[in-house]
Amino acid sequence: MKNTILLLLILVGVLVFAVGYSDSKYRTAIGRHVPSMNLSSPYGDICVGDAGGDYILLNFWKSTDAPSRKRANDYTAWLRRHENAGLRFVSVNMDESPEMYREIVRRDSLIPSTQYHVGGDTARAIYNSFGLEYGLGTMLVNPEGKIIAHNPSWDELNKLTAQ
């Protein structure tokens, strides 16, 4: 009887974990509407989820996560080369320290008006909404607010902006 109950509890635990894992990944799957998120910076406020007729390149990064920090730099370099691309770059930093965030923006010569910092409860809510506990990344969102690519390459962005 004890073995049956233990086996049942293990199966229930695996099932709950699997559903939770797949649900968070599914929320940001290609073709899904991007989760809503309000961000503020000294340069203005934005509501992601309401694209307002623009494509949005939504990037999440931390200074301690080398791949995500490199993507923030790469997308900034692409944006500098394509200033009139009709694409809005929203780069969300998830560092706990606002001072660290500001220093990295300065050192890496990121475009301050494209950068947003979130921490604490707001960062945790965004992690959950976007499934970021499985890794930071970038999403390309179309003017209707649907996710059309994950971690798009420069070639993908060039094709999009050439249309």
DSSP the chain: -HHHHHHHHHHHHHHHHHHHHHHHHHHTSTTSBPPPEEEEETTEEEEET--TTSEEEEEEE-TT-HHHHHHHHHHHHHHHH-TTSSEEEEEEE--S-HHHHHHHHHHTT--GGGEEE--HHHHHHHHHHHTGGG---EEEE-TTSBEEEES--HHHHHHHHH-
Q: Can you list the domains of the chain with their CATH numbers? A: 2-162 (3.40.30.10)
Question: What pLDDT sits at residue 8?
Answer: 63
pLDDT along the chain (163 residues), means of 10: 67 54 63 89 83 84 94 95 89 94 95 94 90 88 92 91 76
pTM for the whole structure = 0.81
Question: What pLDDT sits at residue 21?
Answer: 46
Question: What pLDDT sits at residue 63?
Answer: 92
